[in-house]
Structure 1
Amino acid sequence: MLATNQIVYPDSDGQPMADNTKQFRWIMLIHANLNWLFRDEELVFVAGDLLWYPVEGNPKYRVAPDVMIAFGRPKGDRGSYKQWQEDNIAPQVVFEILSPGNTEGEMDRKLQIYARCGVEEYYIYDPDRFVLKGYQRSDDFYLERIDRMDGWTSPRLGITFELIEGELQLTHPDGRVFESFDNVATERDLICADNQQLESDKQQLETDKQQLEAEKKQLEAAKNKRDAKLRELGIDPDTL
């Protein structure tokens, strides 16, 4: 049994990860690509829809960013992100993907929490209205709105935000566009199909080569037979 004075920090707030498929798809796209981007960095923790408790002793003061990145913290599973157990390192970058259910008051509250708790970069995208907002820390307690997000490159992540015909496009530092699992799987299938075709073509070329070699031997045998017959008749085949 729990001691009467033991504080409980639930791993769930009872809210769904996403309100609709579009929001879920964007969350997964950003989470998966950032995981891939920092796959070799042991001290970069990337999480999606994970409860973050900034202050010990106050389990009601919590927030669950759609995606958050904590530099300086090891990878690994967590039930929640208790900041005091993470060397008091706050996630430096957070993303929120809006759904029709998000209210202005809710987003203002999150902005205040992120500003107060040390977030350096905060990005919001509304996939229904194609609205992209970004905030960057200007001092210890304030996140300042980024004037122009189209073409903006995250100082922490190195990724670039672009609006292509109104829709958000994110690119890796090397210029590769953020890819969904479906697209990666499709490309993998195409590569596999191409490899299979190349292997089939290679086998066909080998078969053709063997066939040509067999025909060459048959012609050589026929020539030798003809030359032998000519010599029997007293004719030198080399003079023909």
Structure 2
Amino acid sequence: MIITQDSATNIIYPDSDGQPIADNTKQFQWIVTIKENLEILFASQSDVFVAGDLLWYPIAGETTRQAPDVMVVFGVSKGDRGSYKQWEEGNIPVQVVFEILSPGNTLKEMAKKFKFYDRYGVEESYIYDPDKIDCNGWLRSQEAPQNSLEVIEDMHGWVSPRLGIRFQLTPQTLEIYRPDGEKFLTSVELAQLREQERQRADTALLQLEQERQRYQDLLQKLQEKGINPEQL
């Protein structure tokens, strides 16, 4: 979808819609986990922008906007932004969005967001309800009328065409896996994993030091007996 730039220059585009990022801790945790793990996944790619709760303005001169819980844009540089003004980003629309539901979300609100995403070129849209363990997705189809977003019939085992991540639903939760098979982890789980790796490295270093010391002790004993190991 091509968005043309409006000639108006006196439009104010607020960086906040006055709404909270999340309604509860569970919703916030999911938003942070998905956003941070996607940033880690694409950390080495300078032209992949990942953001959470950032206002997206698709049309210059209009204040039409939405703030996906998490959004991913391919083809633009990383960096800080107060909002995503599409006409300043080479008219590249947001390609992937995530929404995490809370009890405060209404059907009307979500329908309005879906209509916005469908209209302005989102390629993949995912909604997860952590209370019901229910995940739904939509994929833009060239075969659909008006090239619209079409529902993904089965999210269990679904692999995102854009992101390469895999969705796995269990009776307890949604699990998301990177292309290399590593699971998305919370910040606490990532910290625990780093600590475990540090401890393993410390243990390996200690074992190496102990081996070196045993070798030195053996070398000293042989020398005390007048034996030169290099001549053996």
Aligned: 1:35 with 2:50: no
Partner of 1:77 in structure 2?
80
Partner of 1:130 in structure 2?
133
Q: Scaled by the length of structure 2, what TM-score is found?
A: 0.87
Q: Root-mean-square deviation (CA), in Å?
A: 1.7
Partner of 1:195 in structure 2?
201
Partner of 2:100 in structure 1?
97
Partner of 2:6 in structure 1?
none
Match of 2:65 among 62, 67, 72: 62
CA distance in 2, matches of 1:199, 1:38: 32
Which structure is higher in RCO with an 8 Å CA cutoff and minimum separation 6?
Answer: 2
Partner of 2:160 in structure 1?
154
Instruction: Verify the 8 A CA contact 2:73 2:95 in the aligned structure 1.
Output: yes
Q: What are structure 2's unaligned runs of at least 5 residues? A: 1-8, 228-232
Q: Scaled by the length of structure 1, what TM-score is found?
A: 0.84
Give CA-to-partner distance per residue, 1:172-219, whole Å, 9 cap, x none: 112111122222221111111122122222222222222223333444
Paired residue secondary structure (1:216): helix
Partner of 1:176 in structure 2?
182
Partner of 2:3 in structure 1?
none
Match of 1:20 among 24, 28, 42: 24
Percent identity at matched positions? Answer: 51
By how many angstroms is 1:137 displaced?
1.3
Instruction: Verify the 8 A CA contact 2:133 2:171 in the aligned structure 1.
Output: no
CA distance in 1, matches of 2:139, 2:181: 23
Paired residue secondary structure (2:71): strand
Instruction: Verify the 8 A CA contact 2:49 2:72 in the aligned structure 1.
Output: yes
CA distance in 2, matches of 1:78, 1:161: 29
Cα separation, partners in 2 of 1:166 and 1:203, compared to 1, 3 Å: closer
Match of 1:143 among 140, 149, 152: 149
Partner of 1:164 in structure 2?
170
Partner of 1:109 in structure 2?
112
CA distance in 2, matches of 1:101, 1:215: 76
Paired residue secondary structure (1:124): strand
CA distance in 1, matches of 2:13, 2:112: 20
The more displaced of 5-14 and 123-132 is 5-14
CA distance in 2, matches of 1:90, 1:213: 69
Amino acid at match of 2:186: S
The more displaced of 103-112 and 78-87 is 78-87
Cα separation, partners in 2 of 1:166 and 1:196, compared to 1, 3 Å: closer
Aligned: 1:47 with 2:51: yes
The more displaced of 115-124 and 142-151 is 142-151
CA distance in 1, matches of 2:59, 2:223: 86
Amino acid at match of 1:154: S
CA distance in 2, matches of 1:77, 1:178: 24
CA distance in 2, matches of 1:219, 1:70: 72
Q: What are structure 1's unaligned runs of at least 5 residues? A: 222-240
By how many angstroms is 1:48 displaced?
0.7
Paired residue secondary structure (1:105): helix
By how many angstroms is 1:220 displaced?
4.6
Paired residue secondary structure (1:19): coil
